[in-house]
Amino acid sequence: MKIDNKNFREIYDTFFEPVCRFLNYYTRNENIIEEVVQEVFVRLWEERETLEIQYIRTYLYNAARNRVLNELRDTKNRNVLLEQWAKREIENRESVNCVDMNEFIQLLQASVETLPRSCKDIFKMSREQNLSYKEIATKRNISVKTVEAQMGIALKRIREKMSDHYNREMKNRDLLMLLLLFFI
């Protein structure tokens, strides 16, 4: 079959919509369908001199089917590769931010031990005995404001000591701060 301007237009008008509907069996993505059908017609036009087509309908449907299957395969492979890359990136970032919990707890305990005696006692009553600031104030015969001030000093000094240690090793301060909030 020889293709010229006139019969190309007829072929296009006759088969564009039916081929699009046919590709709905393979995907519901209208963008992919239209792109594939356009590519098939572009190739038909560009290679009209060399193509030997006996049955235009069969040629168009087969070409469109093969092209859409290739596109879906390539898209799936691209998605798999993107997922693998994302997983590797997450693993790399997590490994950089790993914290040895035993080391963390030992450093936390050592930081608490460096606090002034009164400050350390109030901190331990709050964190280890789970006493409220009011209960601590009553037991120690001091005001709640004094307990608050001593806890503020304790938390600040512990954060500073922990940050000094981990800033040398950690890329992500947010993780350190999260751990500090959780444990103290």
Is residue 29 located within the same domain as residue 66? yes
Choosing from 79, 96, 113, the residue where a domain stops is 96
Is residue 75 located within the same domain as residue 115? no
CA proximity to 99, closest of 13, 169, 9, 19: 169
Looking up residue 36, the CATH number of its domain turns out to be: 1.10.1740
Is residue 150 located within the same domain as residue 169? yes
Q: How far apart are CA 130 and CA 123, in angstroms?
A: 10
Is residue 50 located within the same domain as residue 121? no
What would the pLDDT profile of 88-124 be if each residue is shown by its tens digit? 777 766 655 556 677 778 888 898 999 999 999 999 9
State the first-to-last Cα distance of the chain, in angstroms, to the nearest integer.
82
Per-residue model confidence (pLDDT) at position 89: 72
Domain count, the chain: 2
Is residue 171 located within the same domain as residue 139? yes
Choosing from 96, 126, 146, the residue where a domain stops is 96
The answer to whether 55 and 34 are in contact (CB under 8 A) is: no
The whole domain housing 51 covers 5-96
Question: What DSSP assignment string belongs to 110-137?
Answer: HHHHTS-HHHHHHHHHHHTS---HHHHH
Is residue 92 located within the same domain as residue 111? no
Per-residue model confidence (pLDDT) at position 182: 52
Please give the chain's pLDDT, 184 residues, in tens. Answer: 778 788 889 999 999 999 999 999 888 888 889 999 999 999 999 988 888 888 999 999 999 999 999 888 888 877 777 777 777 777 766 655 556 677 778 888 898 999 999 999 999 998 888 889 999 999 999 999 999 999 989 988 888 887 777 665 554 455 555 555 555 5
Is residue 83 located within the same domain as residue 107? no
Choosing from 32, 61, 96, the residue where a domain stops is 96
Is residue 45 located within the same domain as residue 73? yes
Per-residue model confidence (pLDDT) at position 72: 85
Is residue 121 located within the same domain as residue 151? yes
Is residue 154 located within the same domain as residue 117? yes
Per-residue model confidence (pLDDT) at position 52: 85
Looking up residue 155, the CATH number of its domain turns out to be: 1.10.10.10
